[in-house]
Structure 1
């Protein structure tokens, strides 16, 4: 019985990826706001409702790794090494991602991705909403990782400071890549901001179980 289920899952994921790939290509070619769901469906060779079954909003096709990234942060906190504080765990994650990760890909495609966000009010609004959702998810994972209540104010503050650091680091790195075209330098700038921000976060969270 497990084989058909696995086959259905693989087919579902393959269809989702096909839709996402078709959408991404159209977004980069024409601009996010100029592309319709019908055009994406036609490019992916699926029906309009199939698109919405996988992606409730057009913006979700652009930010198709958002859920994956949120789960990565959550699992990193919940599976942290014994004796390593949550803030330090996330600092180490940043260094691992800088070595090899689709989230920190400084390429022409990555630059086009950032340009697409900058050129669309809908994408900028969705990016802000994702940031808010991610802050809530990280705060909840922080609480869970140290056994504190879900409404812990320290966790909410830590999550907000952490995500502000990562956002500045990410934007600074992409700006560096735009100016110099050097991926290694962009990653170095990303990590420099992470290190500076982590120092501030550790100071702000001193005396809590998050440091």
Structure 2
């Protein structure tokens, strides 16, 4: 059962969101590397230290929903239907994301600008790669939990990294198609086609393991 946050928590979350919104607007307008923390603090009407209290690194303000994404991945694997393999569960999860309201796989002018901003900054590109590795660790831990194996098990690590590679390629190619055509339906179709193809390959690679 969910609980209603107290007043202090609500204020803290509101301040964090205000900082994130101000930072994202400035990043998209001016480029990540051309925005200072002082400018973000001024735009959010908070002190410099308040910004760092909520976001230890500047890039954390840009990728402020990555923890939410990790939580959704964990939940998808833990709540998989009995008899459905973890790999198939994540394929279905990809289809649900595309059809749902979540921002991760929406294709519109704002998402295109988001990707372009990442590509224009070495700092953001490095953080994006680190986030991908962190997601692979989350998937490995969740797969291990489902199969009662260790997260360092070879099959577990292989499955997790194959899955993240598939998702990464599908995400990048879908946004490339959207940039070329400005057609969200075509971008979604490319994303799901690559997810489905990758899933078939991973299922073949992981046959005779708990994950296929």
Name the CA distance, whole Å, in 2 between partners of 1:158 and 1:150. 11
Match for residue 125 of structure 2? 124
Match for residue 134 of structure 1? 135
TM-aligned CA deviation for residue 169 of structure 1: 0.5
SS of the residue corresponding to residue 83 of structure 1 reads coil
How many pairs align?
A: 209
Counterpart mapping for 1:93-112 below 5 A: 93-100=93-100, 101-112=102-113
**Structure 2 stretches lacking a partner, 5+ long:** none
Name the CA distance, whole Å, in 1 between partners of 2:119 and 2:40. 21
Name the CA distance, whole Å, in 2 between partners of 1:176 and 1:17. 31
Name the CA distance, whole Å, in 2 between partners of 1:12 and 1:202. 44
Match for residue 149 of structure 2? 148
Q: Is the 8 A contact 2:151 2:157 kept in 1?
A: no
**CA RMSD, 1 decimal:** 1.3
Name the CA distance, whole Å, in 1 between partners of 2:189 and 2:108. 15
Match for residue 75 of structure 2? 75
1:138-192 deviation digits (Å, cap 9, x = unpaired): 1011100121123211111011000000011001110111111110110011000
Name the CA distance, whole Å, in 2 between partners of 1:71 and 1:162. 17
Alignment TM-score, normalising by the size of structure 1: 0.96
1:8-61 deviation digits (Å, cap 9, x = unpaired): 221111111111000000001110000001100100001111111111100000
Q: Does 1:40 align with 2:40?
A: yes
Q: Does 1:15 align with 2:21?
A: no
Match for residue 31 of structure 1? 31
TM-aligned CA deviation for residue 5 of structure 1: 5.5
Quickly say closer, same or farther: Cα 1:210–1:20, change in 2 above 3 A.
same
Alignment TM-score, normalising by the size of structure 2: 0.96
